[in-house]
């Protein structure tokens, strides 16, 4: 059965939102933005010291529970940013007990989800540092944290039994070209107009990805 849910994972600044929205537009699917990002913005507005590197067990639990709640009402097909693999990986990286406590509930939700395909996005540490907009005491430490979370999210997806595509490196890559490549990776079984994809995008993998 072809996938009807595409999940983007990767570090902060890799293009999950930008590329995800463009892929969703090509497919004609709705796009669900990262829940943790919205909740993190709210937390930072209330407390500027609540940056990503701080242990925030209650915050991580809130993110995971909000994702589980969204699953119950989510449209299918859809493109979704980060989803459970990214949320769990972030909680684990911060040492939050919420990851272990809620992992069984997440695994059950993933097992009941529509056929899902995971597309990791990747960037170099230099690019991540240049694109960093998250607060924190040490920008390089913050970048290392997000690179770790992005890498571990793909591993978490596999551990949850999800198929994972090769990572797409987005350093210096045009977002439209990357989006066309992702759509091509989904295969002809998906609903989308292949006339939207220029011929040159079929060669984009040699530029965009390090497979």
Residue identified by tokens 């990262």 is 34
Q: How far is CA 192 from CA 183, 184, 203, in A?
A: 8, 10, 19
- Find out whether 67 and 29 touch, Cβ atoms under 8 Å: no
- What is the per-residue pLDDT across 161-197, written as a single tens digit (0 to 9) for each? 999 999 999 998 899 999 999 998 887 445 544 433 3
Question: How confident is the prediction along the chain (211 residues), in pLDDT tens digits per residue?
Answer: 678 899 999 999 999 999 999 999 999 999 999 998 777 777 666 676 666 666 676 889 999 999 999 999 998 899 999 999 999 999 999 888 989 999 999 999 999 999 999 999 999 999 999 998 877 788 999 899 999 999 999 999 999 999 999 999 999 889 999 999 999 888 744 554 443 333 333 333 333 444 3
Cα–Cα distance for residue pair 3/200, rounded to 1 Å: 25
pLDDT at 94: 86
pLDDT at 25: 94
pLDDT at 195: 38
- Domain holding 60, by residue range, is 5-208
CATH number, domain with residue 81? 3.40.50.300
pLDDT at 82: 96
What the block records as the tokens of 188 is: 């002809």
pLDDT at 59: 86
Cα–Cα distance for residue pair 51/49, rounded to 1 Å: 6
- Find out whether 46 and 190 touch, Cβ atoms under 8 Å: no
The count of domains in the chain is 1
pLDDT at 202: 37
């Amino acid at each position: 059965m072809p996938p009807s849910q595409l999940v983007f994972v990767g570090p902060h600044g890799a293009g999950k939102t930008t590329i995800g929205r463009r892929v969703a537009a090509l497919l004609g699917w709705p796009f669900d933005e990262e829940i943790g990002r919205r909740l993190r913005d709210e937390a930072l507005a209330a407390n500027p010291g609540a940056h990503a590197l701080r242990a925030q067990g209650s915050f991580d639990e809130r993110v995971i529970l909000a994702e589980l709640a969204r699953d119950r009402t989510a449209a299918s097909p859809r493109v979704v940013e980060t989803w459970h693999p990214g949320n769990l990986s972030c909680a684990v990286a911060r040492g939050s007990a919420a990851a272990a406590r809620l992992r069984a509930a997440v695994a059950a939700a993933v097992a009941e989800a529509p056929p899902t395909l995971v597309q990791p996005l990747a960037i170099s540490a230099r690019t991540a540092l240049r694109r960093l907009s998250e607060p924190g005491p040490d920008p390089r430490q913050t970048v290392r944290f997000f690179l770790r979370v992005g890498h571990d999210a793909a591993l978490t997806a596999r551990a949850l039994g999800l198929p994972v595509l090769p990572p797409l490196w987005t350093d210096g890559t045009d977002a439209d070209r990357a989006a066309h490549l992702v759509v091509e990776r989904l295969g002809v079984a998906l609903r989308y107009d292949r006339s939207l994809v220029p011929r040159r995008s079929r060669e984009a993998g040699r530029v965009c990805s390090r497979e």
